[in-house]
Amino acid sequence: MGLAQTQHRFLVRQKVTPMANRYLVHTAGADGQEGELVAFAHQKRLAFKEEVTFYTDESRRQVLFTFKARQVIDLGATYDVHGASGTRLGSFRKNFGASLLRSTWHLSPEGAEEESTGQERSEGLALLRRAWEFLPYTDLLPFIVPYHFDFTESGRSVMSVEKLFGLRDRYVLDIADPELDRRLAIAQAVALDALQSR
């Protein structure tokens, strides 16, 4: 993951399979297309304690990092992110109360004095997404309108995640903070999709 730490933009694409959610994370090329594959994420469905493992590629032979809930299925659970050797990289959590109107997350790098807060940029779009989830049969048809999350700390931009227009779940992760561990940023970006309904 050393090369990826110098990158500021990544493309995240979901692959849906019957028993698991999978995500491919690539660097973004100069032309905006997928570059080098830097991580492959695997999330088992219907687990009692949410966990996502990130590997170097789809062979799933070498673990890069993981995130795992501290508690069994909890709407306000905190998720710890660990490197392949077990070193804690940080954590993130969803602010359940604030998320009733507009999804809000808190991202805490290990050793940092402050956490950054990520929130949906458009309140109107956030409300539209919630209304969409209550309509019948929408679980078969994804919400195709783009939306954005902006993470800031004391008014300073840390990172942003943009869902692209389309039927497939695809995201652009832009990192503004050069010190932010890319593994932690990628974990949070995948969580925005994998855990959004929690």
Encode pLDDT of 186-196 as tens digits: 999 999 988 86
Residue 158's pLDDT band, with cuts at 50, 70 and 90, is: very high
pLDDT of residue 130: 54
What is the model's pTM?
0.85
The amino acid that residue 196 corresponds to is Q
Dist. CA 20–CA 44, nearest whole Å:
5
Torsion of CA 177, 9, 169, 148, to 10 degrees: 40
Residue the block writes with tokens 């995201």: 171
Residue 16's pLDDT band, with cuts at 50, 70 and 90, is: confident
